Amino acid sequence: MERPGPERVLDFLAVPTLRVEEGTARVLFANAAARALPFLLEASGQSTLLDREGTPLFPGQHPVERAARGEPLEGVPFRWETPEGHRTFVVHARLDRSCSPGVVTMTFQEVTQWSRAEEDLLRALGSRDTFLSVASHELKTPITVLQLVLERLQRGARREASFSGSHLAERLEPALRQVRRLGVLVQNLLDVSRARNNRFVLVCERFELGGLMRELCERFSEQARQVGSELTMEDCPRMEVHWDRLRVEQAVSNLITNAIKYGAGGLISIRLEQKDRQVFLRVEDRGIGVPEGDRERIFHPFERAASGHRTESLGLGLYIVREIARAHGGTVELAGRDGGGSCFTLCLPLEVAGMPNG
């Protein structure tokens, strides 16, 4: 039987369109686009439909049933769960009571792409707000310490005629520590800017990598001991590389400080291996580990793993490690460790030309 003229036109629309009977929700017409969406034609409860927040819709909350009851639906969003992921739709419904029983015409506009873009934007805004909060704290703390030290020095100089150089040097040491801390914070922010604008320039030189690793291990040993960890160099063969020494030192330092921060006072080990002209540098800890779903995200700027471990951090260290690795034509990867903890592997080619990143 040939369909009425309006329905023949609706059948060619790309937007899924449905016409149902008021009261019963009996489907009177479904265009080709609607027939491609099983949840529109199945009985209630056979498909997984969710509201915008991800809460399952109970029987009777299906958009078709709601429209058939006469509920006004204007731009109401819902999600359809599929094996490939969720899809988001916005439904509009119009009830026509010029005939009996009335007929509800419904359209289902897919907005999955826009919905995901909105989710990404909200996540980015959340990361920005967290960054601003943490950055304000991180910058304010050393500035406050500097101010207190300088005010003490000023008062001492005014009161004590015999204010000696040794007193001055002793009181300036906390100020110098905070200046160095500020320098690291500013350098990290500059590095993020350079990486995002493809201006990470390498200044490569030939050096012995094992010596640098032993030097870093010794440098951070005391910091590790302060939190109950032991930092060990398990494998450290002599190895000549052609890299940007300062950048690689920065990357490995970030990995070690990350292990100290999240290592839960356990053993931290560093391993060095060369295979097929590739160098593998591993930093392992026995700490809280990183959930599998967070292992890619934590390499993004201003991100930290949702581990429940309270720490103040700009969330830039691992992002900078990744960008330094990329600038050298290498990678950095994170894997879980048997028995708990994390293993970061920095993989770089043995020889790298000093060229701009990108």
CATH 3.30.450.20 in the chain, residue ranges: 5-110
Angle at 245 between CA 243 and CA 248, to 5 degrees: 85
Report CA-CA distances (Å) from 62 to 25, 56, 59, 77, 101. 10, 10, 7, 12, 20
Which homologous superfamily does the CATH classification assign to the domain defined by 5-110? Answer: PAS domain (3.30.450.20)
User: What sign does the dihedral 285-291-297-302 (CA atoms) show?
Assistant: negative
pLDDT score for 49: 87
Identity at 46, one-letter amino acid code? Q
Per-residue pLDDT tens digits for 114-160: 888 887 887 777 766 666 666 665 666 667 667 777 777 767 666 66
CATH 1.10.287 in the chain, residue ranges: 123-196
Radius of gyration (C-alpha) of the chain in whole angstroms: 31
- Average pLDDT of 264-271? 91
pLDDT score for 44: 46
Q: According to DSSP H, which parts of the chain are helical?
A: 5-10, 32-35, 38-41, 63-68, 112-159, 165-196, 209-226, 245-262, 317-327
φ, ψ at 104 (rounded to 5°): -105, 125
Helices and strands, number each (H, E), in the chain: 9, 13
Q: Residue 39 class from Cβ within 10 Å (0-12 exposed, 13-18 middle, 19+ buried)?
A: buried
The listed CATH number (1.10.8, 1.10.287, 3.40.50, 3.30.70) that belongs to domain 123-196: 1.10.287
Task: Kindly state the DSSP code that residue 350 receives in the 8-state scheme.
Answer: S
Neighbours of 104 (CB within 10 A): 26
Per-residue pLDDT tens digits for 2-24: 455 567 777 778 889 989 999 99
Q: Which residues pair with 80 in a beta bridge?
A: 49, 87
Mean pLDDT score of the chain, rounded to an integer? 81
Per-residue pLDDT tens digits for 83-122: 777 888 999 999 999 888 999 999 999 888 888 888 788 7
Would you call the peptide bond into 101 cis, given omega within 30 degrees of 0 as the criterion? yes
In this structure, what token pair is assigned to residue 356? 């701009």
Decide if 250 contacts 323 (C-beta within 8 A): no
pLDDT score for 38: 80
The listed CATH number (1.10.340.30, 3.40.50.150, 3.40.50.360, 3.30.565.10) that belongs to domain 205-349: 3.30.565.10
Identity at 229, one-letter amino acid code? S
pLDDT score for 237: 84
Distance CA 122, CA 69 (A): 35
DSSP reduced 3-state for 133: helix
CATH 3.30.565.10 in the chain, residue ranges: 205-349
DSSP reduced 3-state for 79: strand
